[in-house]
Structure 1
Amino acid sequence: MSSPWPSSSRTQQPLFGAFNGFESTGAMTWLRQWVASPAGRRMGLEPIPDEPVHPRRLRRTLSVEMAARPGGLLATKVHFKHLQVATSEGYAGRPGGAEAFFHHEWKKEEAKEKLKRTVEAYRQFEQGQMPAGPGADALLASFRAVEKELADHEPGPAKVVTDRQIELLLKKKASVLHLSAANYCWFEDPAKALCLKLAGTRSAAAPLTGLCDSSRCPQATPPLIVHRSIWQTTAANGVVLLASPRIGPAEKARLRAEHERSMRVLEEIDTAAGKAG
């Protein structure tokens, strides 16, 4: 039985014949004329430069033009039969487009939330609810500076201080705020961050919140209202676990340290709340 594949002596010619490009067939000339015509201008197409064009370049240009339109990125994915939008983003000259857009959006929302929480903390300060924790003194200094600046610019008794004015003054302070599960971290100086010292690194762009000990870190403050219930639950769970006979001595030693830490934080919060009262 003879082989279905041609022998080597019969494979000297290309399988699909010679490819002479668009220029030789006249297709590119027709496309240039159509894009420059009123129909092409009506669709917002730029004239095609009078220089050699190959299919890969045409495919890239087409993807860029399609992606620039509303919903065009998805249309590019469908038209070019891409399996993933990331491929279409690459063709459209937007590598990581969806990821970058999402990152920008959540950073924007995070900044808004940080500013909101900072203003809330300042409003609590105005009402006499002082922040707790080792970082309270630095935070109070910032709040008093804002209070003084507002007082210096107050023209008369009818002046009403709005949240917008406070936001502008607290924007810089809010930018260093990192929201943790049970405390606020005002990460202004990496050299003072206890979490970085525990991890053995002194230079970082953000704190390691998983290692945070807000009862000892000079840049952390456990808020009065938002986080007290979290520390109370942690302390209550610690009592239950320490009373369990199933937990070994080594683990109980660790749990006892965690329980003492929770009680210290609760004491600081209650002390600050007592001062406010």
Structure 2
Amino acid sequence: MTTIENVSHTRELAGKRALVTGGSRGIGAAVVRQLLDAGAEVLTTARSAANTIPDGATFVTADVRTQAGAQALAAAAHDVLGGVDILVHNAGGARPHASASAIPDAEWQDALDLNLLASVRLDSLLVPGMRERRSGAIVHVSSAAVPTAAPQFLHYVAAKAALQTYSRGLALDLASAGIRVNTVSPGKTATPGGEETRELWARMDATLSDTVTATSTTPLGRDGRPGDIADAVLFLVSDRASWLTGTNLFVDGGEFPRG
């Protein structure tokens, strides 16, 4: 008789060194917690000091929107961890505007720097070490809202769309070196940053108030939790996803169109 053995994934990342950007709250903090629980050594960062970092992680302040900030963070990762096996780009965001034409040029540039170029710059600094070790896992956090191209967030979703394309191309480029690159695209998730953005959007356009602040618009009947996204990230950086690269995993309760 064949028996099915329950497989525990506890400590499955023991010995791995992970860097998580934007790890001070919300999805980023949940990712840090999941990686720690799985046995990884974790360094995380945000633009300002935080006291909400999960116990066991190392925190440094860094502004990943600039080349200098990316270089400083890469140097800190080398000093603290001695190298990076897992890289999770979670830092991102933008504020809504009344229309696409109302988005200032400076905010377009900031959206690109934070939501696209931060990943490009940090990847380029840390991938060489992964190449030497012939292994590595990179996850870019995008957005399930990209296909909607909401005018009020066009700078944000355009940058995230570019991040998805970049991720697919990087995955192809690094596959032969044993490095996997995947994207996670969260839907409406209950986080401090998400709630602040939705409240600002609702105040700016009263006609959108009900839909923006609705308890849930997902087929599964609830908003996401930070842990839902962190679960997806943990899977993608683990050996359980060893044959996955170049994929974009929607974690949105079925809310947004795929395409």
TM-score bucket of the superposed structures, by smaller chain: under 0.3
- Structure number with larger C-alpha Rg: 1
TM-score of the aligned structures, taking structure 1 as reference length: 0.21
Select the structure with the greater relative contact order (CA < 8 A; seq sep ≥ 6).
Answer: 2
